[in-house]
Structure 1
Amino acid sequence: MSAALAQLTSHGTDRRAAADDWRARHHGAVIGYVGADVPVEYITAAGLLPLRLSGSPGTPSTAGDRYLGTGLDPVARSVLTRLLDHDFGPLDGIVVSRDCEASLRLFYALRELRRVDPASELPPVHLVDVLHLPHRTTTRYVRAKLRQLRATVETWAGRSIDDAALADAIAVHERLRDLLTRVAALRRLRPARLTGAQALSVVAATTALPADRATALLEELLTEADLLPEHEGHRVFVTGSPHDTAHVYTALEDAGLLVVGEDHDWGDLLSLRRTEAPTEDALAERYQYNGPTAPRASIRDRAEHTRRAAQDCGAEALVCYARMHDDAPRWDYPAQRAATGLPSVLLSRQPYGALDDEAVQALTGLRPHAAVAR
């Protein structure tokens, strides 16, 4: 494994390490955030570190279950548990996007726990509500919400965010998205130079590292691309629930598949939309038109995006992974299956970060003339 890939996959797996290093080196504040609708450019512009919060599959979420109930997406319950256990280290603020119902309920729980239970030592929390309708009135609404976030981040940082600093942060994150797009292409080569699990870990690392450090590592990885091992497998496109860890991708690839693309916002969708200019207005439009994600986009838009993306990846099959208590993917799947025309399978009501035995068996039909084993 290349040195850059080793560092990126390490940070993608151990996300707290980057935050601890930031605190030690820069004595700077760390802001946790939930959801790809959070404009991280403001956090970077204020000289703070944005750390995207993830759950921990296989770890009991007892505290999260107590406050959110067991009928909610297990990722939100796991994130709340980790926050209450201080697994991410000291955070100076949390920004939650209203990207789905689970995130919204997580925000309300955090706000209320901070109010009624000072012993929880939770940091201040802010909700950013980005709408995705294609209207000018929506753009005005999103601009207003982004200005509120800007003011909140300025309060946390103890300094103002001037337009020049914001423009610089936009440019840095645009460079990061460009590099992520180039890195994603490595798993679409024949043979691939990255596995799907590696690519997902690389993306996760860039949501934990400072943007300039993430950019340097991605540039180094691209220079080493020809030295990376080759990978073969039946090429699949993954749709459905987002994956904040590589556990499911690893299980799929252990079964002889190769994940060459996906349409969730911990993967390719995170870097798809670009900012047209280094201004706050352009930033608002970037997040307004970000997506399309399963909880916020229409079935038609999702199906068309999946069709194009799967075709661009050279996918040979479609896998829809629907996590327990995440119902949106099952509504999208019939239209996606019809639009792609690919052999496909729906893995429904799956445990967080894993495949059940029935799902493993269902995958056997995707690989012609080959058995799929765990």
Structure 2
Amino acid sequence: MSDADAPRIGIIGDDVPRQLVFAAGAVPRRLLGSWHEPVTPEAAELLGTVDAAAGRVLDDLLAGRHDDLSGLVVCHDSQANLRIFYVLRILAQRGRVPFPVHLVDVPRVSANAPARCFVSRQYARLLDFCAQVTGNRTDLTSLRRAAEQERELGRALEAMRERRRAGDCTGTEALTAYLLAATEPPEVAVSAVAGAGGATAPGATRVHLTGSNHPDAEIYRALEATGDVVVVGEDHDTGDGAWLGVAADGSSIDEVTDALTDAHLARPAAATGGLAEARAGHTLRRATHTRARAAIALVREHDDAPVWDLPRQRQALRDHDIALVARTRIPSGDAAATAARESLADLRELLATAGADA
């Protein structure tokens, strides 16, 4: 069966090792929602007060836009996603959702023995779920084949990051490629990433983006439209922070899941569940690695975790002469693009002041 004909398993969140999904004969498709479209009253009533992007994910599921999925995996990497899982579990029992729903709960904590055991068991259960959905037996051959697929994507992503650092790929092009990589079959994903390019404007201010993740590239497009800034990197989980291109080897299925467990526990801290100091350190490392001169934090309304990181991030970046401007509690709709333009105005003023004081 070709990837074009393979069953799709939806993913909500960013804690799923894609190798396991591919090894079971399925294609993972991350569901991302929207920062711009309003949440319907039904989704809002079912979920309560949550990040608008999460509400749009539920809206799309209720509207049948993902009825072609064979199964759905929800990650407990945020409280909003956990609420989605509880709602979908009830709706699935009532026949409202036409596919089975599975929860992956793998907190990023210290890599001690109990944590490793817990996460490894979660990934073993995930592999069983995927195999039940597809009806395909997972073995070392399929795991090796899936590992090579994912590593090919990883190599393409690293080459794209190098082009980005060199000024040969805009942030808009890069984010669009990341989103395609998370939602499309491997050959489409690798082609999109390999083709991502676009020379940046000479002299454009190199900017690192932090805060909420981005389910589409509209904000990046708004930031880069003037030509005086280029987004050279980010630490949110739909861009550079996405868990893509990672795979593991082993002489048994257990060894593979154990190695993926170690890879997960070694990931940088996420805004949800991560300590602010660790988050600030990661933001600083990413910003300096891409030679960013400034950083912009854009945070959606009800996505509170990134807001807690801002004081530490601002201090860490300031100590390395990297300016940070922020817009928080941004509502859905056109306010997102407006916030992006306002943050640019703040950034220009801040950089001009710093230049005058130098």
TM-score with structure 1 length normalisation?
0.84
State the Cα distance separating 1:177 from its structure 2 match: 1.8
Q: C-alpha separation between the residues in 1 aligned to 2:82 and 2:162?
A: 34
Amino acid at match of 1:247: E
Find out whether 1:207 has 2:182 as its counterpart.
yes
Q: C-alpha separation between the residues in 2 aligned to 1:343 and 1:276?
A: 38
Matches for 1:1-374 after TM superposition, within 5 Å? 25-26=4-5, 28-62=6-40, 63-69=42-48, 71-116=49-94, 118=95, 120-134=96-110, 135-189=112-166, 192-219=167-194, 221=195, 228-232=198-202, 233-255=204-226, 256-271=228-243, 274-275=246-247, 277-278=249-250, 279-341=256-318, 342-352=322-332, 354-355=335-336, 357=338, 360-367=341-348, 368-369=351-352
Q: C-alpha separation between the residues in 2 aligned to 1:271 and 1:146?
A: 15
In the alignment, which residue of structure 2 is the partner of 1:14? none
Query: SS in structure 2 opposite 1:207?
Result: helix
Q: Does the CA contact (< 8 Å) of 2:152 and 2:245 recur in 1?
A: no
Q: C-alpha separation between the residues in 1 aligned to 2:210 and 2:86?
A: 28
**Residues 92 and 193 (structure 1), Cα distance of their counterparts in 2 relative to 1, 3 Å cut:** same
Q: Does the CA contact (< 8 Å) of 1:181 and 1:268 recur in 2?
A: no
**Residues 276 and 48 (structure 1), Cα distance of their counterparts in 2 relative to 1, 3 Å cut:** closer
Q: How many residues align?
A: 337
**Residues 185 and 194 (structure 1), Cα distance of their counterparts in 2 relative to 1, 3 Å cut:** same
Most deviating of 170-179 and 31-40: 170-179
State the Cα distance separating 1:73 from its structure 2 match: 0.8
State the Cα distance separating 1:164 from its structure 2 match: 2.2
Q: Does the CA contact (< 8 Å) of 1:92 and 1:156 recur in 2?
A: yes
Q: C-alpha separation between the residues in 2 aligned to 1:282 and 1:160?
A: 20
Q: C-alpha separation between the residues in 2 aligned to 1:48 and 1:157?
A: 7
Query: SS in structure 2 opposite 1:50?
Result: strand
Q: C-alpha separation between the residues in 2 aligned to 1:347 and 1:257?
A: 17
Amino acid at match of 1:73: D
Identity of aligned residues (%): 34
State the Cα distance separating 1:215 from its structure 2 match: 2.5
Gaps of 5+ in 2: 251-255, 354-358
Q: C-alpha separation between the residues in 1 aligned to 2:340 and 2:7?
A: 42
Amino acid at match of 1:108: Y
State the Cα distance separating 1:364 from its structure 2 match: 1.4
**Residues 52 and 242 (structure 1), Cα distance of their counterparts in 2 relative to 1, 3 Å cut:** same
Gaps of 5+ in 1: 1-21
Q: C-alpha separation between the residues in 1 aligned to 2:324 and 2:136?
A: 51
Q: Does the CA contact (< 8 Å) of 1:193 and 1:231 recur in 2?
A: no
**Residues 76 and 358 (structure 1), Cα distance of their counterparts in 2 relative to 1, 3 Å cut:** closer
Q: C-alpha separation between the residues in 2 aligned to 1:33 and 1:312?
A: 30
C-alpha deviations, 1:74-108, integer Å up to 9, x for none?
A: 11110000011122341110001111101101111
Amino acid at match of 2:58: L
Q: C-alpha separation between the residues in 2 aligned to 1:33 and 1:314?
A: 33
State the Cα distance separating 1:369 from its structure 2 match: 4.9
TM-score with structure 2 length normalisation?
0.87
Q: Does the CA contact (< 8 Å) of 1:318 and 1:337 recur in 2?
A: no
Q: Does the CA contact (< 8 Å) of 1:83 and 1:122 recur in 2?
A: no
Report the aligned-residue RMSD.
2.2
Q: C-alpha separation between the residues in 1 aligned to 2:14 and 2:284?
A: 22
**Residues 50 and 76 (structure 1), Cα distance of their counterparts in 2 relative to 1, 3 Å cut:** same
C-alpha deviations, 1:226-258, integer Å up to 9, x for none?
A: xx4443422111111111211211122225421
Amino acid at match of 1:107: F
